[in-house]
Amino acid sequence: MSKNRLTAQADVPSKVTVRGTHRRPNGARIMRDVLLVLAVFAACVVESVEALTIVLAVGVTRGWKATMRGVTAGLVTLAVIVAALGPALTVIPISTLRLVVGGLLLVFGLGWLRKAILRASGFKELHDEAAIYARQRAAAEAAGRSGHGLLVDPYAFTLAFKGVLLEGLEVAFIVVTFGANQNNIGLASIGAVAAVVLVTAVGIAVRAPLARVPENTLKFVVGVLLTSFGTFWGVEGAGGSWPGSDAALLGVIGFVLAAALAAVWWLRQVHDRQYSPDRPGADSTEPVPAAGGRR
């Protein structure tokens, strides 16, 4: 064991629990739990809003019977994934879990953050739920009808099922990995369920895609939080220790947030230079380039 690890462990009053984790001081644990719920809640709001857009478009155009069956099947599949993966992860040694989960969260988080930075700086179109809703409705109206029995409308069932499952899969992974890492899958699930209930309730009330939810800002926040947690756990999983123990998480969040805001500022300058009407050979009708792939 390296010298700095011995020093850091000696400085932090902690008790070893059954899983080999260190029981942290109360204040730090509460802060991490709050951040955990916040990250899962925000990620789940974003994905729920996107799933709601698909479900609304399909339900309004194709009818609600098959659509709701698809939604139910998607939610049950997600619950099975969380129920199966959650306990399985808790038997993995905590350092291995933190290394793997830290790496996965970093890859997910940097993906969210990259997209959010490109959108905030003008290099990628902003996510527009109203436009996506219109596209989904047109596609649902154009599709043919077939099926009987349980699958009264296979198109509506499949689209609703895929929408819920694919949008929810990332959140399921976040719930499982965050929860297992902090030994509190229940708390992570509460954050996710609260977001789904909130978005569903608002969706039923307004019966329209939630275009006014600041989705792009939320994605930026989630990207910062996932990247920060991934960095924090990645270092601990790799065998390192943070100065100040859990309190360092706030410093990591501040660092990632500052770096992300600086990147937005830098790329806005680059964007203005690249698409300035004054630059040599500029064409005012030039489209914004599509940087990055999915969604």
Q: Which residues bind other proteins (CB under 8 A)?
A: 2-5, 99, 102-104, 106-108, 110-111, 113-115, 117-118, 121, 123, 169-170, 227, 230-231, 234-235, 237-243, 248, 252, 255-256, 259, 263, 267, 270-271, 274, 289, 291-294
Nearer to other proteins, 37 or 85 (CB): 85
The conformational region for residue 279 under phi > 0 = left, psi -120 to 50 = alpha, else beta, is beta
Q: Return d(Cα 234, Cα 70) in angstroms, integer.
A: 37
199 contacts 52 by C-beta, under 8 angstroms: yes
Question: Helix (H, G, I), strand (E, B), or coil: what is residue 128?
Answer: coil
Q: Return d(Cα 73, Cα 93) in angstroms, integer.
A: 33
Nearer to other proteins, 123 or 133 (CB): 123
Kindly state the smallest distance separating residue 26's Cβ from other proteins, in Å.
Answer: 23
Kindly state the smallest distance separating residue 172's Cβ from other proteins, in Å.
Answer: 11
Nearer to other proteins, 14 or 200 (CB): 14
Nearer to other proteins, 59 or 237 (CB): 237
How many Cα atoms within 13 Å fall on the side-chain side of residue 9? 13
DSSP letter, residue 243:
T
φ, ψ of residue 53 to 5 degrees: the values are -60, -45
Nearer to other proteins, 169 or 194 (CB): 169
Q: Which residue has the tokens 């999915």?
A: 294
Length of the chain: 295
φ, ψ of residue 216 to 5 degrees: the values are -65, -40
**For residue 16, what are the β-bridge partners?**
22
55: exposed, middle or buried (Cβ count in 10 Å: 0-12, 13-18, 19+): buried
Kindly state the smallest distance separating residue 64's Cβ from other proteins, in Å.
Answer: 28
Kindly state the smallest distance separating residue 137's Cβ from other proteins, in Å.
Answer: 25
Kindly state the smallest distance separating residue 186's Cβ from other proteins, in Å.
Answer: 25
Q: Which helix (DSSP H) or strand (DSSP E) does residue 16 occupy?
A: strand 15-16
Nearer to other proteins, 66 or 172 (CB): 172
Nearer to other proteins, 34 or 266 (CB): 266
180 contacts 89 by C-beta, under 8 angstroms: yes
How many Cα atoms within 13 Å fall on the side-chain side of residue 153? 23
